[in-house]
Every structure is written in C-alpha cells, then in structure tokens.
Amino acid sequence: MKRIVLYTMEKCPHCQTAKRYLDEKNIPYRLCNVKTAKGQKEFSALGMRGVPVLKIGDKLLNGFSVSNFNKLFKS
C-alpha cells in the first residue's frame, strides 16, 4: 500500500474534508501540520504553497478531490 501524508492547517475546511474522506475509507495516513516547525520544514521542501497537499507514494496532489485522489491512490 502507498504511504500517504496529508499536509494541513487547523482551520482549513478542505483539509477537514480530506481527513474525513481518508478516515471514512480507513486509509492510513500521517498528518503533518504545516504550522509546526517540523511540518513547515517538511512542507517547504515539497515546493507547494497551499494546503491541503497529499503525498501519495512519490506523487503530490495539491488540493483535494475524491476523483483525483483515487486516480493517484489506485495507480
């Protein structure tokens, strides 16, 4: 199974949607808060700007949509 990291900020509604989807589907993931020092460093290394960002295996998904997530997750 592909490893998933979800980069989020606390009050981001799109991040909450992504978390809820992963939880409902019982898909394991690691949550990374980009407002912490460690999270900020890890997130900036990706070269992305906004959250949510999902790292699925070695691919990045900027923003969250079920169809785009499933395409990357199942490929």
Per-residue pLDDT of the chain (75 residues; tens, 9 = 90+): 789 999 999 999 999 999 999 999 999 999 999 999 999 999 999 999 999 999 999 999 999 999 999 999 998
Residue carrying the six token digits 């999902």: 54
Per-residue pLDDT, 75: 84
**Which has the closest alpha carbon to 28: 10, 9, 1, 46?**
1
**Domains and their CATH numbers in the chain:** 4-74 (3.40.30.10)
- Non-local (6+) Cβ contacts of 66 within 8 A are 21
Number of helical H runs and strand E runs in the chain = 3, 4
Residue 44 and residue 34: Cα distance in Å, rounded?
A: 9
Per-residue pLDDT, 24: 98
Using the Cα atoms of residue 20, residue 62, residue 7 and residue 49 in order, give the sign of their dihedral: negative
